[in-house]
Amino acid sequence: MGAAPPEGDMYRRPLVAALGRISVGPGWHCVDLGAGSGEVSLRLAALVGSTGRVYSVDSSAALCDELARSAAAAGTSQVVTLVQAAEDLALPEEVDLVYCRFLLMHVAEPLAVLRRMAAVTRPGGYVVAQEPITTAGRVGGVPLSMPDARHPDIGALLPGLAVACGCRLVSAWAEAPAGAGQGPVASYLEELSGVDPGEDAIVLPSLVTVIAQKQAAP
Ligand SMILES: C[S@@+](CC[C@H](N)C(=O)[O-])C[C@H]1O[C@@H](n2cnc3c(N)ncnc32)[C@H](O)[C@@H]1O
């Protein structure tokens, strides 16, 4: 459960769009929840700079170790790795942004995790989640599925869940990389699912982005 996504981040574009939409910048304190090998954490570290902080949280100690090594190699002392279950997320401070990607699809109770994310966010700060609708993917027109995931289509519920956790919905959209023949989209699909698409048309699973803002206390 919860394997890191394949090399070559096919979902970089929605990630960059989401972080740009809320203007993540120098000095921000952020959480990358379910950080995996740290692609998102390192991007956040570059944006927040040496005056910011990125808590990279994952339940896997081995992945946290790997991420800490990558952060050290990149000279980013602002990255702090924490081995924690998302359900028990606890930090020494409230932060400006709590982000997750390809995490809620694997946890038992996505809404409970979103509530933890909101709990550690400062009032006016952001909760951002990017989760797939895996069955919206197609290879040669045939739907994909990821039966190993607990909630393979959690993306379809994400905007409602963000509202249910008490946040204000700022923006939400879905986006899917597509291609045909050999290339990065085919390689990504093959690593993800073991399916060799040959020359078939590929639409990878839609990624739903939700940007939500924690309300200030009344
Ligand atoms: C598919 S990977 C996504 C990695 C990264 N977010 C990305 O987009 O590249 C899912 C990650 O979530 C972690 N994970 C799964 N369940 C978790 C939980 N309950 N609490 C914390 N981390 C969890 C896994 O160890 C894994 O690193």
pLDDT at 218: 67
Per-residue pLDDT at 6 exceeds 80: no
Per-residue pLDDT at 8 exceeds 70: no
Output helix, strand, coil percentages for the chain, rounded to the nearest 5: 30, 30, 40
Q: Ligand 1 in contact with 184 (CB < 6 A)? A: no
Write out pLDDT tens, residues 57-96: 999 999 999 999 999 999 999 999 999 999 999 999 999 9
The C-alpha atoms of residue 183 and residue 190 are separated, in whole angstroms, by: 11
pLDDT at 199: 92
Q: Ligand 1 in contact with 43 (CB < 6 A)? A: no
State which ligand 1 atom lies nearest to the alpha carbon of 32: 6
Mean pLDDT of 36-54: 97
Write out pLDDT tens, residues 137-190: 999 999 987 878 999 999 999 999 999 999 999 999 999 999 998 899 999 888
Q: What residues contact residue 49 under an 8 Å CB cut-off, 6+ apart?
A: 26, 27, 78
State which ligand 1 atom lies nearest to the alpha carbon of 60: 25
State which ligand 1 atom lies nearest to the alpha carbon of 4: 2
Atom 14 of ligand 1, residue of closest alpha carbon = 34
Instruction: Please state, rounded to an integer, the average pLDDT across all residues of the chain.
Output: 93
Per-residue pLDDT at 7 exceeds 80: no
Say how many C-beta atoms besides its own lie within 10 A of residue 122's C-beta.
Answer: 14
- By the 8 A CB rule, do 134 and 145 touch? yes
Per-residue pLDDT at 1 exceeds 50: no
DSSP H helices, the chain, are: 12-21, 39-48, 61-73, 110-119, 158-164, 184-193
Sheet holding 142-143, edge to edge: 142-143, 138-139, 201-203, 178-180
- Nearest CA-CA partner of 11 in 167, 188, 171, 212: 188
Residue in 10, 13, 43, 59 to alter for ligand 1 test, most ligand atoms within 8 A of Cβ: 59
pLDDT at 144: 87
- Nearest CA-CA partner of 31 in 97, 106, 129, 79: 97
Q: Ligand 1 in contact with 16 (CB < 6 A)? A: no
Per-residue pLDDT at 194 exceeds 70: yes
Atom 8 of ligand 1, residue of closest alpha carbon = 101
Per-residue pLDDT at 2 exceeds 50: no
3-class state of residue 186 by DSSP: helix
The pTM for the full model equals 0.94
pLDDT grade, residue 5 (50/70/90)? Answer: very low
